[in-house]
């Protein structure tokens, strides 16, 4: 038991990230509670930006750079700010904006720390459910203070896949639907929940057995990739390679099922 409490102790870096997330989450939850008053502008096809997004990122940026002034910052809304060290924060202020704007309580804040091109820490905070998924390289993965493990399911017909289907002009919807069409008869179910970061967190927690998506941005998946790996899962691109952050193509599964899912997505 002592070992468990020792391994789930958060480093100063993770503590800084969680505090910033909790501060940004308070106004976000207020906005979520009064969506009819929220000002929303269209950012592009099926891609919204809201006052809540912009405010959330501003709070996160201020808090994180106050605590780690040498770090760079890459945010979905404000783009990149160079730092003087080899590390940067990779931030999605609201992952699942479309859910958020429709009053669906499936969204989160996602923050990763990238050092010399490698993700070394990742935190995903779901403010509605009060679930914080976090991991540091080599230290395991946790939800709040509970250790995470990917599922142990071994057969496709028991496996639950979570995915994103591109809408509007984004991504290659035809290819995605073709792959899902081939999978449907062989697996237990497919979920399209609308937040890539939470999809990855759910694979790490064993709630889903696999997550596959293409054309996702680095801030959607950087934190979740590390959390899945630290929970004992496997993460590759759709060809089985390690270009996930470069290509935005990601397949994350438990250890047993990776080869089976890879056959479909290849």
Cβ atoms 17, 53 nearer than 8 A = no
Active site residue 126: no
Which three-class secondary structure state does DSSP give residue 181? helix
CA–CA separation, 225 and 235 (whole Å): 7
User: Among the options 97, 132, 162, 163, which is catalytic?
Assistant: 97
| 157 closest CA partner among 126, 194, 119, 188 | 188
User: Among the options 57, 63, 92, 126, which is catalytic?
Assistant: 92
User: Among the options 59, 94, 187, 221, which is catalytic?
Assistant: 94
Active site residue 94: yes
User: Among the options 53, 76, 199, 230, which is catalytic?
Assistant: 76
Active site residue 95: yes
SS3 content of the chain, % helix, strand, coil (to 5): 40, 25, 35
User: Among the options 63, 220, 230, 237, which is catalytic?
Assistant: 220
CA–CA separation, 23 and 51 (whole Å): 16
CA–CA separation, 153 and 255 (whole Å): 9
Per-residue burial over 86-112, b = 16 or more CB atoms within 10 Å of its CB, e = otherwise: ebbbbbbbbbbbbbbbeeeebbbbbbb
- In angstroms, what is the C-alpha Rg of the chain? 18
CA–CA separation, 177 and 149 (whole Å): 29
Tokens read off for 143: 């939800």
| 231 closest CA partner among 205, 250, 209, 211 | 205
Active site residue 34: no
Cβ atoms 126, 132 nearer than 8 A = yes
Active site residue 92: yes
Would the CA dihedral through 152, 130, 139, 114 be positive or negative? positive
User: Among the options 57, 63, 95, 126, which is catalytic?
Assistant: 95
Phi, psi of 227 (to 5 degrees): -65, -40
As annotated, the active-site residues are 76, 92, 94-95, 97, 220
């Amino acid at each position: 038991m002592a070992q468990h409490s020792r391994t789930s102790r958060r480093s100063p870096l993770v503590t800084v990230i969680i505090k910033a997330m909790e501060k940004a989450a308070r106004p976000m939850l207020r906005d979520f509670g009064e969506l009819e008053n929220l000002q929303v502008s269209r950012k592009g096809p099926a891609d919204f930006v809201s006052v809540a997004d912009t405010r959330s990122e501003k709070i996160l940026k201020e808090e994180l750079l106050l605590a780690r002034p040498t770090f760079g910052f890459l945010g979905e809304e404000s783009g990149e700010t160079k730092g003087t060290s080899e590390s940067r924060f990779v931030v999605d202020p609201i992952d699942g904006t479309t859910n958020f704007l429709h009053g669906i309580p499936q969204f989160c804040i996602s923050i990763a720390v990238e050092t010399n091109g490698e993700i070394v820490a990742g935190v995903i905070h779901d403010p509605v459910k009060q679930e914080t998924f976090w991991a540091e390289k080599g230290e395991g993965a946790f939800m709040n203070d509970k250790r995470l493990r990917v599922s142990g399911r071994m057969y496709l017909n028991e496996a639950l896949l979570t995915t994103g289907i591109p809408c509007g002009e984004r991504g290659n919807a035809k290819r995605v639907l073709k792959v899902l069409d081939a999978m449907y008869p062989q697996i237990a179910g497919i979920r399209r929940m609308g937040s890539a970061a939470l999809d990855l967190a759910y694979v790490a927690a064993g709630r889903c057995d696999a997550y596959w998506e293409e054309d996702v941005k680095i801030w959607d998946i950087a934190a979740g990739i590390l959390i899945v790996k630290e929970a004992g899962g496997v993460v590759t691109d759709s060809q089985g390679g390690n270009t996930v952050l470069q290509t935005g193509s990601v397949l994350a599964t438990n250890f047993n099922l990776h080869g089976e899912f890879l056959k479909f997505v290849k």
